[in-house]
Amino acid sequence: MRYLVLSDIHANLEALEKCLGVAKGKYDRVLCLGDLVGYGPDPNAAMERTRELANTVIRGNHDKACAGITDAEDFNALARASTFWTRNAITLNNSAFLRSLPAGPVLLDGFEIVHGSPADEDEYIVGADQALPALQTLTLQTVFFGHTHHQGGFMLTRHGRFQSIRDSTLRQGPASSDPASSDPSWSDKEQRRVVLPLEDGFRYLINPGSVGQPRDGDWRAAFAIFDESKRKVEYYRTPYDLSKTQEKMQKAGLPEPLILRLAIGR
């Protein structure tokens, strides 16, 4: 079974459609780790496209806020502004859909999906302080998480060594199947694919990255494909029609800093 793993779409339809186009023919089922909405200009279309394709969807913190489950008081001013805009923009049917989404973790065929962390759907796993305790308590080899908008993740080797997948494996390690991925001259206008083999005795926290709102310094849309039978994760980055998304955001009256940050992936 091959799973297309999407997370943090954030109502960015252009990024979502580009990811689906790149992944076409490469997967059997679709998983979404939450935050379908918030920030972006196409909440209804992004939700409807995801509902059409995804086999399993869990909720994120922006989904809860935009559906009125939470009050967004812990959001910064820009996130709150986009939340209030989204609440007014989404249909009653789509608002009900957001309210119906389950919290993670959700157990699938030998692995789990969460939005934030296995212990707390709203927790950010950003480094060893959060990742190491989670890895040490995993009862499964692999958990997929989102929320941070950073593609990569963390792993614990069979000898108990902690590693950041993003820093040590994707950019320069032997897991990279694309020699251009470690080349600093490689253009950010190109598509990238790197492969992480899942080794016996290791434990993994895998973040596919954000489809519509990357925050790891790379503006390109991110997703992953998990090949369960071959025990590997393929990480993808792909450019999309960024200017079209930004134009839609301007017409919608969304905050200018949210529009500008898309171009720098921060």
Global pTM exceeds 0.75? yes
E strand or H helix that includes residue 192: strand 192-197
Cβ neighbours for 7, distance < 8 A, ≥ 6 positions apart? 32, 33, 34, 35, 60, 115, 144, 145, 146, 147, 207, 208, 209, 210, 211, 223
- Note the pLDDT of residue 166: 72
Examine residue 105 and say whether the peptide bond preceding it is cis (omega within 30 degrees of 0).
yes
Alpha-carbon distances, residue 67 vs 10, 36, 56 (angstroms): 14, 11, 19
- Note the pLDDT of residue 169: 54
- Note the pLDDT of residue 251: 97
CB distance 61 to 70 below 8 Å: yes
- Note the pLDDT of residue 111: 97
pLDDT, averaged in runs of 10, over the chain (266 residues): 98 98 97 98 98 96 97 93 97 97 96 97 96 95 97 95 75 38 52 95 97 96 97 97 98 97 94
- Note the pLDDT of residue 177: 40
- Note the pLDDT of residue 189: 73
**Helix, strand, coil percentages, rounded to 5, for the chain:** 35, 20, 50
